[in-house]
A and B are shown apart, each in its own frame.
Chain A
Amino acid sequence: DGGITQSPKYLFRKEGQNVTLSCEQNLNHDAMYWYRQDPGQGLRLIYYSQIVNDFQKGDIAEGYSVSREKKESFPLTVTSAQKNPTAFYLCASFGGDVWYEQFFGPGTRLTVL
Chain B
Amino acid sequence: KQEVTQIPAALSVPEGENLVLNCSFTDSAIYNLQWFRQDPGKGLTSLLLIQSSQREQTSGRLNASLDKSSGRSTLYIAASQPGDSATYLCAVRAGNTGKLIFGQGTTLQVKP
Which A residues contact B (CB, under 8 angstroms)? Answer: 6, 31, 33, 35, 40-45, 48, 50, 56, 58, 88, 90, 92, 94, 96, 98-99, 101-107, 109
Whether, in the assembled complex, B43 has its beta carbon less than 8 Å from a beta carbon of chain A, the answer is: yes
Whether, in the assembled complex, B28 has its beta carbon less than 8 Å from a beta carbon of chain A, the answer is: no
| A104 engages B51 (CB within 8 Å) | no
Known: A98-B32, A99-B31. A41 touches B104 (CB 8 A): yes
> CB-CB < 8 A to B36: which residues of A?
104
Q: How far is the CB of B28 from chain A (nearest CB, A)?
A: 16
Known: A101-B46, A107-B42. A42 touches B4 (CB 8 A): yes
| B96 engages A98 (CB within 8 Å) | yes
Size category of the binding interface on chain B? 20 to 34
Which B residues contact A (CB, under 8 angstroms)? Answer: 4, 6, 9, 31-32, 34, 36, 41-46, 49, 51, 89, 91, 93, 96-100, 102-105
| B42 engages A43 (CB within 8 Å) | no
- A23 and B91 CA atoms in complex are apart in Å by 21
Known: A41-B104, A43-B89, A101-B34. A107 touches B43 (CB 8 A): yes
Known: A42-B4, A109-B41. A48 touches B99 (CB 8 A): yes
Which of A31, A40, A109 has the most chain B CB atoms inside 10 A of its CB? A40
